[in-house]
Copies of this chain bind each other. A is one copy, B any other.
Amino acid sequence: MEQRRFGTAARCGMTDITGDVEQYLHARAADGIQDGFVCIYSPHTTCAVTINEGFDPDVQRDISTFLSKLVPENSGFRHSEGNSDAHVKVSLIGASCLVPVIGGRTALGQWQRVFLCEFDGPRTRTLYFSFIRAE
């Protein structure tokens, strides 16, 4: 599994990592990769990964802002680090996602992009990239 690092800029926000998925596939051109999924996995417990609209940056802001309202930082949590909201959001969004690959290239929908969802930044994050074959 290849590890790639990403810097995040704020406590909460979404970082478009689609270019990295494309670079990853490009770098593996000699490996005979055809159809399947790039699995993006977050080994962190306060950031997640998702696929959503990447055309209008307002969508990313709307998602981040809404999640912050849905899971307020101060919800009477017991965990002493004060970031339980981030942990809740990670379980809602998920620690991994599957990016479709056809003929060795990403086969995302027209408006889809892949995002790292930061819920307790800013930090440097590491994601695992690997390829799962599909038939």
A134 and B78 in contact, given A52-B45, A53-B45 (Cβ under 8 angstroms): no
Q: How many A residues touch B, CB cutoff 8 Å?
A: 61
A77 touches B62 (CB 8 A): yes
Other 15 A-B pairs with CB < 8 A, given A66-B71, A132-B133: A1-B35, A35-B130, A36-B130, A37-B41, A37-B132, A42-B109, A43-B108, A52-B95, A59-B79, A59-B87, A62-B84, A63-B87, A66-B77, A66-B84, A95-B112
> Is A12 among interface residues, defined by CB-CB distance under 8 A?
no
A93 touches B96 (CB 8 A): no
Give the oligomeric copy count: 3
Write out the residue numbers on chain B whose beta carbons fall within 8 Å of the beta carbon of A78.
58, 61-62
B90 touches A52 (CB 8 A): yes
Write out the residue numbers on chain B whose beta carbons fall within 8 Å of the beta carbon of A56.
79-81
